[in-house]
Amino acid sequence: MRTNLHLLLFLCLSCYLSISNGTELIIVNNCKESIWPGILGTAGHETPNNGGFHLNIGQQVVIQLPNLWSGRIWGRQGCCFDVNGKGSCQTGDCSGLLNCSGAGGIPPATLVEMTLGTSNNPKHYYDVSLVDGFNIPVSMIPISGSIGCGVAACEADLNQSCPEYLALKCQGKIVGCKSACLATNSPKYCCTGEFASKNTCKPTAFSQFFKTICPRAYSYAFDESTGLKSCKASRYLITFCPPT
């Protein structure tokens, strides 16, 4: 009886600790090439791991995030850095640095965005966004989360079918696919100016193209067809080039 009570206390304590100790991200490179993830905290939130690191094929890192963290993660590919961490990447480059340290990635880049609770709402919200274009397939999957936890993802290699007009090429090879907003910078595609509301910003032929190939990702600024995922989990798996 006494042992059971101790066990119960221990279980309650560990469950309490796992809830109050922030969130763990497991970031995996399942691509057939090296990638260099970038990570950036939203204003007022810390940027863990100096903002960027290298992941070999098959390698993973675990990142411990503080409570109520908010920010984004993206992948960089085709990078080359010197011993001082200076160089460049074909896509997702952040000021030519291995450690992005607060710099964002140059689009087109597939973004994983998340808000892991706010002071008045403990729920986690996350999505995969193609609003700034696509470079690497990625998914975010909660591990043993609560009911309603869903998968946010763009699993397909969008650059294979990217229209010529939106393609970002490097030495003749397509390495990224721009969103129509990025390619044209026009208010209609960027949902700015007179198009800056849900009623005036509608899907376009280009956002439909993204949507058809990656239905579980945001394809334009007011895309609500996927819904933001809302969840409460203590760990999430983020996989670059997830198995399809």
- The footprint of ligand NAG (CB under 6 A) covers 33, 49-50, 53, 77, 84-85, 91, 99, 135-136, 157, 159-160, 173-175
Comparing CB distances to ligand NAG, the nearer of 72 and 124 is 72
Minimal distance, residue 112 CB to ligand NAG, in Å = 15
Q: For residues 12 and 55, is the Cβ–Cβ distance under 8 A?
A: no
Residue 64 and residue 80: Cα distance in Å, rounded?
A: 27
Minimal distance, residue 98 CB to ligand NAG, in Å = 6
* Residues in the chain, total: 244
Comparing CB distances to ligand NAG, the nearer of 135 and 226 is 135
Comparing CB distances to ligand NAG, the nearer of 27 and 221 is 27
Comparing CB distances to ligand NAG, the nearer of 156 and 228 is 156
The 3-state DSSP composition of the chain as helix, strand, coil percent (nearest 5) reads 20, 30, 45
DSSP the chain: -HHHHHHHHHHHHHHHHHHHT-EEEEEEE-SSS-B--EEEE-TTS--GGGGB--B-TT-EEEEEEPTT-EEEEE--BS-EE-TTSBEE-SBS--TTBSS-TT--PPSS--EEEEEEEETTEEEEEEEEE-TT-BSS-EEEEEES--TT---EEE-S-GGGS--GGGEEEETTEEEEE--HHHHH--HHHHT-GGG-STTT----HHHHHHHHH-TTSB-STT--SS--EEE--SEEEEEES---
Minimal distance, residue 205 CB to ligand NAG, in Å = 22
Minimal distance, residue 160 CB to ligand NAG, in Å = 4
Comparing CB distances to ligand NAG, the nearer of 43 and 83 is 83
Comparing CB distances to ligand NAG, the nearer of 154 and 221 is 154
Minimal distance, residue 207 CB to ligand NAG, in Å = 20
Minimal distance, residue 49 CB to ligand NAG, in Å = 5
Residue 17 and residue 109: Cα distance in Å, rounded?
A: 35
Comparing CB distances to ligand NAG, the nearer of 63 and 114 is 63
Minimal distance, residue 90 CB to ligand NAG, in Å = 7
